[in-house]
Structure formats: structure tokens, C-alpha cells
Amino acid sequence: MSAEIFARDPLDPEIRRFVAALARAWAEYPAVESLPVAEKRRIAEIVRTPWRQGGPGMATTRETSLPTRHGPIRARIHRPAAGPEAQPALVYLHGGGWTMFSLDTHDRIMREFAARAAATVVGIDYALSPEVKFPHALEQVVDAVRELREGASDFGLDATRLAIGGDSAGANLSVATSLVLRDIGASQWLRGMLLIYGCYTPEISDAAASGFGAEGNLLTAAEMETFWVNYLERTSESLNPLASPMRADLAGLPPAFLVCAQCDVLAEQSIAFAAKLRAAGVPVDLVEYAGATHSFLEAVSISELADRAIADGAAWLSRLFE
């Protein structure tokens, strides 16, 4: 991506309010970077609490567990409409650099997509790094998708209308899951991929690192480097296309909708990945949201821009499930 993206308009005013509020909340916990990862996670849950509250109500919300080769994992099933009819579903994977966040931090985002797309959203509570390493979380997600498809009637889902998606590291896992399913001859299991400001390679350009990846931004290049160290057992695993989907042969993947935040260190990755998907013959919609930063969908309670991005993604899902 050319450097001109970093010379455009600064943050949208409402997104700036969101970023400032997060900064003030984190400032209440000095020396947070020196804390153990478990304590950082606890604080992150507190800091993100105001942003997951409110939003649409669900007809039902069900907590359950799904079997995987690594043991059962927790799942949260948001069903926006009552009734016995089998509903299409989005399997949602939260972001956080494979290290942070949870079903709770992303609960409002999941409910927003459920309500607007008139589809069930199933959040998967995959195991976090560095306690587990690649491909542990990916294998959990693959097994969870298999269980949801094979047991669709038990969950009130239409097995022929499943999609996968997530933000940041969740987008990475969504693509990797789609690659695994394609390679085992199960590409028909997923109708599409909703990819929100995803990370698809550890490689970050100098322009991105010194621009929206510099210190003071919501997500920095240094933080991304730490997240990759947490996720991978060894640096050489970054060559594995299931860890770094930018390296993958993308032919045969399902259609994708990419949300790209202009003021994000990972913006260049969304743009490059969309181009690579198109070159592989995959139908792609890419929308770049000017003035948006990483994690901006969480600001939906105050931001028209976040509201529009969620509406765009939900409309794409609705068309996908027709």
C-alpha cells in the first residue's frame, strides 16, 4: 500500500472520543505493560465494559460447550428471533491478538450483527496465547464449526447457511479455518467470511509502523509483534499459511467482506489481502472507513461510522444467506 493513506484526514471525531476514553481508562492502571498476561486480561475486561453494554436484545442467548480435539470449549449463541425455524448463522471469533478479550468484550458486536442480519451469531471462546500456541486455537475453531454443522438441528441452525467471521486475530482464524475446510474437501460448509480489520501476516511496512502503528495509536506495530510472539511457538511458523494467510493459495475460499479501518496499522493488510483474494477468483467486497481506527466497531454506541460498518457487514450477510 502506498504511503498516501497515512496523509489523509485524521480520526473521525466520534472515534477520537472512543480512543480517548479507552486511553483514560487504561491510565488508571499504571505500569500495566509489566503485569502478567492474566492481569492484563482482567483489566482489559474492565476497560471494555462500557462498550459492550446496551444494544439490541435477543430472543434467546444460550451458553453451551462444543467438543473439540482439545476438550470442550465455551460458545455463546445469540438468536435474534423466536420460533422453531432453523436460522442461518455467523460463527464469530473475537479479536485481541490471540491473547486478550473474550465473548464478553465482543458481546455487543455479536448482538448487533445478529439483530441486523436476522441471523444467529455463535461466539467461540477459543483458548488464548501464550498459554497455548498455534495451531491450538485454530483446531478448536475447526472442530467447533464441524460440531455446529453436524449438530445444526440441536442448535436451531440451518447447516446450509453458515458463515464465519471475526475481527483482527479473529479474522485471521476465520480465514485459516476456511483454508483447512477447503483442504479437507469441506469448503461447502461455509458460505462466506466476514473479515474485520484482520491481521494476515506478521509483516508490517515501515510506513504503517511509523504511521498509524506508532506509539499513541490504539494498536501499535510493537503490540502486533508481541501478539505474534505469543501466538507462534517459533518464528519460522510465520511461514505457515494457516498462521499467515497472506502466504496461502486462496483459490476456492468462500466470498469475503472486508472491513478496513483507514487509521489502522493493519489497513494495508486488508487492502493487500482483498487484492490477493480477487486474484485467486474469490468474490470480495472491501470497504475502507475513513477516519476509523482499529477496534472501531466497539464504538457503535456513539459512532455513526461504526454503526454504518456493522450495517454494511450485516447487509452483506443477509444477501449471503438468501
Q: How far is CA 178 from CA 63, 181, 182, 188, 248, in A?
A: 25, 5, 6, 10, 11
Q: Return the sign of the alpha-carbon dihedral for residues 233, 104, 259, 223.
A: negative
- What amino acid occupies position 229? V
Pairing of strands 60-66, 73-79: antiparallel
Contact 289, 262 (CB under 8 A): yes
Distance from C-alpha of 192 to C-alpha of 163, rounded to nearest angstrom: 5
Q: Quick check: is 158 catalytic?
A: no
Q: Report the distance separating Cα 151 and Cα 148, nearest Å.
A: 5
State the Cα–Cα distance between residues 309 and 289, nearest whole angstrom: 8
- Looking at 264, 270, 295, 303, which residue is catalytic? 264
168 is catalytic: yes
Q: Say which of 12, 94, 143, 168 is annotated catalytic.
A: 168
Residue 221 region by backbone torsions, left for phi larger than 0, else alpha for psi between -120 and 50, else beta: alpha
The number of residues in the chain equals: 322
- For residues 297 and 289, give the distance between their C-alpha atoms in angstroms, rounded to a whole number: 11
Instruction: Specify whether 294 is catalytic.
Output: yes
Q: Name the nearest CA neighbour of 123 among 150, 139, 101.
A: 101
Q: Active-site positions?
A: 168, 264, 294
